[in-house]
């Protein structure tokens, strides 16, 4: 069974090279599709992930990382605020 690739870094990671970790949410888009990641209030082990206009779902931090990586592999791009 192939092992899933764990993303090297996500925009919410802390560190000297991270410039987006202070944001409350991060959006990936691909054409008209978009997925928004946000940290859950008061619990950094959980993320809320919302696809397009659907209801947000709760994911553990490692699941959010894997979802983020899979979306990047499918051609989604991180929308960087100006």
pLDDT, one tens digit per residue, over 14-55 is 777 778 877 889 999 999 999 999 987 778 789 999 999 899
pTM for the full predicted model: 0.82
Q: Does the residue 49 lie in any domain?
A: yes
Is the pLDDT at 4 greater than 90? The verdict is: no
At residue 60, the pLDDT reads 93
Neighbours of 26 (CB within 10 A): 22
Q: Does the residue 14 lie in any domain?
A: no
Angle at 7 between CA 5 and CA 10, to 5 degrees: 165
- Total domains in the fold of the chain: 1
Structural domain of 69: 25-79
Q: Does the residue 52 lie in any domain?
A: yes
Q: Does the residue 46 lie in any domain?
A: yes
Q: Does the residue 36 lie in any domain?
A: yes
Cα–Cα distance measured from residue 73 to residue 82, given in angstroms and rounded to the nearest whole number:
24
């Amino acid at each position: 069974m192939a092992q899933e690739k764990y993303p090297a870094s996500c925009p919410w990671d802390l560190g000297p090279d991270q410039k987006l970790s202070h944001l409350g949410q991060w959006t990936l888009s691909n054409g008209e599709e978009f997925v928004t990641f946000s940290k859950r209030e008061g619990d950094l082990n959980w993320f809320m992930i919302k696809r397009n206009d659907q209801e947000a779902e709760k994911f553990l931090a490692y699941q959010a990382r894997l979802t983020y990586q899979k979306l990047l592999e499918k051609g989604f791009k991180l929308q960087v605020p100006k």
